[in-house]
Structures are given as C-alpha cells and as structure tokens.
A and B are shown apart, each in its own frame.
Chain A
C-alpha cells in the first residue's frame, strides 16, 4: 500500500478534530472528522478506513465501543485511542482489546505523526 491512508477522526471536542485534520492532511492522508460517534460508526459501515483515531470518553458511545464496531467491519484497521482522562485500567483495556496505541491529552503534533507513521508501517506489514 502507499503511504497515503484513509483516516477517520472522532472526537466530540471540535477543536481536537480540526487540529488533527489539519495535521493529517498536511501529511497527505485522506481525512474525515466526526464529533458524533453514531454518525462516525454509520460512516464506518459504508467505508473501511485504514486508521481510526477516536476519543475514549464521549456521551453517546465510548471509544472502546467504537473500536468494537471498527473491528467488526475490518480487522486490519489500526485504532488509536486518545483521552483527556486517562487511567491505568483504561490504558490496559484499550491495548488488550486491540488498540494500536493509546495517547493521553495533551499531546504534540509530532507524537501523533510518529504514531501514524508506525501505523502506516504496520499496515504495510513492515512491523
């Protein structure tokens, strides 16, 4: 596969989604941003994404549930969970349930960029 990925970003705080969109577009990826988990899950029913970046704590549906939906549709999608309210249990649960990475807020652009690059390599089967 090429280094250009389809990425779905889901965070109920619009400012986070916009920030990630701008960063990922600059990296040459195709990006869709959602603030509503139900709409995001609906969109994932229509299209398989290479990478899904999701907030964990959201009102309608949490990030772990979103991840379950992702894996029902596509096992190879890499899910990166982000959270502003991290706990040890949450971090462990995320990873044991198959998240590719777990990132706590605040984070710098470079951290997301590095994780996305690792995910791209993993999708190419290099790691």
Chain B
C-alpha cells in the first residue's frame, strides 16, 4: 500500500500523523509526507526557495521535518520498516542544470518520503498523487479549524482525485464504519481499503445499498448479498441496510457523526448521481467526522 499524507504547515498535524502512522504500522505502507501551505499563509511568509532547503528557517521546512519526526516517533527504534539502513547514491538536481551525487539514506524495508510542494495546496496534492500514484490520499478534516480556504482545497482533492481519499478527523476512534457502496461497480481496492479500516479500528461494518425508482430493492438486495458474502468469507460481519437515493444525503450526514463514513465515488458510481458536490460541503462541515471517499 502507498499512502500520501498532506501536512498543512498552518496547523497542528499531530492527529493526522498519528492516524497515518497507525495505518502505516499495520500495513507497512510506503508513505509520502507532503508539505503544503494554504495560499493565505504563504502570502504572509517569505516564498520558499531552493536556499531554504538545508535550513529550518522556513516554516514549511520546519513543519515538514517536525511531521517526519512525529511520524517516526510512533514506531520507536525497534522494528520500524522505515529505519535508515540502506545508503544509496542518487543524483539530485540542486539547481537547474546542476546535479549533485548525494548519499541518500533509505528505509530498510519500506519508503518514507518527505516532499514539499509550495503553492496552491489542492493542486499540489493532486499533482503529487499523479507524480507518484498512491492507494490513499490522507488530508485533515477541514471543519475542525482553518476556515473556508481549507475546506476549498480539501473539497477539490475529494472531488478531483483519481484515488481514494481519507479525510481524518481529530476525534475519538470510530467504532463503526458505515460504507455506502454502489452494488454493481465497487472496485476491489475499495473493498480492500474498507477491510484495512475495519481491522485498524476493530470496528463494526455497516453497508448501505442504494435504491431508487429505477433500481428495484430486490436487485439491490441480491447484489448486497454478494458483498456481504465477500466479507463473511473474510470473517467480517457486515450489517446491511437499504437507503432510498433521495435520502442518501441526509443518511450520509447523520452517519458521519462519530463514525467513519465511507462513500464509493468511482467513475462508474451511481452515488455521484444522487450525491451532489454541495453535499460534500455539508459533510465537510460535520464536525468530528472522518470521511473515506473510495475509488
């Protein structure tokens, strides 16, 4: 598994790092910590230049390095897959047209990359996800602090990313994962991501199937039974409930309270037909909720 975690230099990243480290500890994922900055903050700071890269002077650099330390602290000295044991030579472009042969320390088993992408944060995250494809993008819950600009970039990532996005909330551990799944086209990686979350939190799983005038409840029942069978074969008990398409928004907003809400929003998803982008705003506004957008 590959995880891309966005660290916002304008806020406390400790809770997002804690959750990413928990998931990474279980899955031994390759992890990229991406330093980003909201534009309102970057306007008050000196622009990041190549001269800043070796110093702790720039807030973006400080924030990223603190984030890396916090992440590694979770693992301790013993048994971390990210322990630096392998030294390799890598050519790094330090100035345009100038390459330096650097000795680089890599994790012995898994990779932990720390990267910076100053500028528009939404674009920075999406560009990084395109540059180094990952299985999961992790962003902070925008409703807890930060205001409208944070919401804007989180929303952009949630709506435009090609991969799954986990919006992490600073809240209690979820005891239930409520997964709204399209019965026809749910991707295998989405089912697998739910499995990992159920294991991570030792959580109950509730699966919501979508019905509408065009889709008979009996058909949905049949297809949901296949998903339940999949989980049963993997020793996970899943409860099923059917939700009328017109009630989806209300259902999702209510389910987001205190649970981890997982929404299948792949390209072929029926959910996107019922679940309008404005509903994402509502969900982002629900305090203390974590949201997993599956693709």
Contacts and interface: CB of A to CB of B under 8 A. Distances in A.
Contacts of A110: 133
B28 A91 contact: yes
A39 B275 CA distance: 46
B135 A108 contact: yes
Interface in B213-257: 234-235
B109 A105 contact: no
Interface in A92-106: 92, 95, 101-106
Max count, chain A CB within 10 A of own CB: residue among B190, B193, B234: B234
Contacts of A68: none
B18 to A, nearest CB: 14
A106 B199 contact: no
B199 A86 contact: yes
A105 B28 contact: no
Nearest to A127: B86
B133 A87 contact: no
A87 B26 contact: yes
Given A84-B234, A95-B109, A102 B28 contact: yes
A86 B133 contact: no
Interface residues of A, number: 21
Contact of A85 (B1, B28, B190, B199): B199
B28 A86 contact: yes
B29 interface: yes
Contacts of A104: 1, 26-29, 196
Contact of A92 (B79, B195, B234): B79
Contacts of B190: 106
B244 to A, nearest CB: 30
B77 interface: no
B189 interface: yes
A104 B193 CA distance: 10
A105 B1 CA distance: 6
B30 interface: yes
Interface in B46-75: none
A88 interface: yes
B26 A107 contact: no
Max count, chain B CB within 10 A of own CB: residue among A15, A85, A103, A104: A104
Given A92-B79, A106-B1, A85 B133 contact: no
Contacts of A73: none
Interface in B127-151: 133-135
Given A91-B27, A107-B1, A85 B188 contact: no
B135 to A, nearest CB: 5
Nearest to B190: A106
A55 to B, nearest CB: 10
B135 A101 contact: no
19 contacts: A84-B234, A85-B195, A86-B27, A86-B199, A87-B199, A88-B26, A91-B28, A92-B79, A102-B28, A102-B109, A103-B1, A104-B26, A104-B28, A105-B189, A106-B188, A106-B189, A106-B193, A108-B134, A110-B133
Interface of B: 1-2, 25-30, 79, 81, 109, 133-135, 188-190, 192-193, 195-196, 198-199, 234-235
Interface of A: 15-16, 57, 84-88, 91-92, 95, 101-108, 110-111
